[in-house]
């Protein structure tokens, strides 16, 4: 049986830095970094590069937008620690594939963001990740944004995203051995 640490916080709260430090402490050189973001513009490309340079060069990296648990089962041989950064993008990837605008970010949605099949697919993915942790002898650190503390988004896609990510975060927190909330770079143990 593995161990799950769930690290949560707002944008620029220090989540990734804290998670990387924890992964380094627990796994040293034997860390698999699972990156779910996709480089779709220059700004995102720069953010990804910044994250890459902050990691130890000995760490392995798995870049995958969805299907994380299945990929981990195929990839994680000999790894002590898996760091998944982050669920925020994982949920966004599912939502954008199913209902997001195609091509132009300001175009009309291609589907209903509140379609229950989208949330069901995200829940299925998160539950597969939890099952992976429970079935493997591995330390898994998962990073996600807390988006439920801010203003209600004024548009459908934003509200659907907030709701689905909130559900994913609840599942992870319920099953986690440890939950840490970061506020302005300060970690606070929640569970």
What confidence score (pLDDT) does residue 7 get?
Answer: 98
What confidence score (pLDDT) does residue 149 get?
Answer: 87
188 contacts 6 by C-beta, under 8 angstroms: no
Residue 36: which of 21, 56, 51 has the closest Cα? 51
Name the pLDDT band for 48 (thresholds 50, 70, 90).
low
What confidence score (pLDDT) does residue 49 get?
Answer: 66
What confidence score (pLDDT) does residue 140 get?
Answer: 97
90 contacts 67 by C-beta, under 8 angstroms: no
What confidence score (pLDDT) does residue 108 get?
Answer: 73
Name the pLDDT band for 100 (thresholds 50, 70, 90).
confident
Highest mean pLDDT among 45-49, 142-146, 149-153: 142-146
- Superfamily of domain 3-189 in CATH is P-loop containing nucleotide triphosphate hydrolases (3.40.50.300)
Mean pLDDT of all residues in 140-165: 92
What confidence score (pLDDT) does residue 119 get?
Answer: 94
Name the pLDDT band for 40 (thresholds 50, 70, 90).
low
Pick the catalytic residue from 45, 51, 94, 175: 51
- Residue 51 annotated in active site: yes
In sequence order, the 6+-apart residues with CB closer than 8 A to the CB of 51 are 16, 35, 85
> Which runs of E-coded beta strand occur in the chain?
3-9, 31-35, 60-63, 81-85, 139-145, 178-183, 186-189
Sign of CA dihedral 9, 14, 18, 20: positive
Please tell me the distance from the alpha carbon of residue 79 to that of residue 63, in angstroms, as a whole number: 16
What is the reported pTM?
A: 0.90
């Amino acid at each position: 049986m593995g161990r799950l640490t769930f690290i949560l916080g707002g944008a620029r709260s220090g989540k990734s830095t804290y998670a990387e430090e924890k992964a380094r402490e627990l796994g040293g050189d034997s860390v698999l970094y699972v990156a779910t973001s996709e480089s779709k513009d220059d700004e995102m490309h720069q953010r990804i590069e910044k994250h890459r340079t902050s990691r130890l060069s000995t760490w392995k990296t798995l870049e995958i937008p969805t299907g994380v648990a299945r990929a981990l089962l195929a990839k994680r041989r000999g790894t002590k620690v898996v760091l998944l950064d982050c669920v925020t993008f994982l949920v966004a990837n599912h939502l954008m594939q199913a209902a997001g605008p195609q091509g132009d970010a300001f175009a009309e949605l291609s589907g209903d963001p509140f379609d229950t099949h989208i949330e069901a697919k995200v829940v299925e993915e998160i539950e597969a990740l939890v099952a992976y942790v429970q079935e493997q002898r591995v330390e898994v650190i998962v990073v996600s944004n807390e988006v439920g503390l801010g203003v209600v988004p004024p548009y459908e896609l934003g509200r659907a995203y907030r709701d689905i990510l909130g559900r994913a975060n609840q599942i992870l927190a319920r099953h986690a051995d440890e939950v840490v909330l970061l506020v302005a770079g300060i970690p606070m143990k929640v569970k």
